Amino acid sequence: MTLEILTADSLSPLRHGFFTRRGGASSGIFAGLNCGPGSSDQSETVRTNRARVAQAMALPPASLVTLNQVHSATAVTLEQPLPADSPLPQADALVTATPGIVLAILTADCQPVLFADPEAGVIGAAHAGWRGALSGVLENTLDAMVSLGATRDNINAVIGPCISQRAYEVGPEFLEDFMAEDTSYARFFANGQDGRYQFDLPGFGLHRLRAAGVADACWTGHCTYSNPQMFYSFRRSVHERQADYGRLISAIRL
């Protein structure tokens, strides 16, 4: 089955993609393109899926770089692919100005964000859940790109498939964390049921990107929770009492 890849005009002509779950080798609850080695899926199957992604990006599997994502604000700069036997950096964003490296992020409701300054030849990829977005992972990605020669007003950023506001119910303590940072963040919360709220994760991500001065920021508009045929979702797996969940991959290269 052919891989399904969502792209954005603002990242062209660079090769990139937000891969859906369609077209992979995994089965059962992971059916499709599960690219998460941290899942309980068969490791050989995950390697096969990741190799298919690398092929779609027109580079060998060893060029595909991911992270040990820890919901941090840390961005890592790469000058070459990671050695096969090296541990993955504990970080949540990657940047490079080196051709031949595929920067890739794994998600299952959090925001995958791809960045590009085609003029400077600098790219980035970030995993931005609520915690990382609030603590500055998007801004740190931009700072790392600028240190490689990019300029903010030439950087385009695209948020890929993530959980939408209508599917993201949170408690009052969650709202308090945001209000402690900036009371204006209340606008990203809508009233829900029984004293709970609905949080607009991509809206918050777009706000942070635009406030940081990027040339253009947009969201693809796809909700991971609401479309099980196309996307994996951690929250949906919990609600359906599944034992585990697959991870989507988003990638970009020079």
Q: What is the pLDDT of residue 62?
A: 95
Q: What is the pLDDT of residue 1?
A: 67
Instruction: Dump pLDDT digits (tens) for 178-205.
Output: 999 999 999 999 999 999 999 999 999 9
- The CA radius of gyration of the chain, in Å to the nearest whole number, is 17
Burial class (CB in 10 A: 0-12, 13-18, 19+), 43: exposed
Tally Cβ neighbours within 10 Å of residue 68.
13
The model's confidence at residue 85, banded by pLDDT at 50, 70 and 90, is: confident
pTM value?
0.97
Chain CA centroid to CA 164, Å: 14
Q: What is the pLDDT of residue 83?
A: 85
Instruction: Give the right CATH number for 5-164+200-253 from 3.40.50.150, 3.60.140.10, 3.40.50.1100, 3.40.50.450.
Output: 3.60.140.10
Instruction: Dump pLDDT digits (tens) for 6-23.
Output: 999 999 999 999 999 999
Q: Check if the beta carbon of residue 69 is closer than 8 Å to that of residue 103.
A: no
Rounded CA gap, 16 and 230, in Å?
A: 18
Residue ranges covered by each domain of the chain = 5-164+200-253
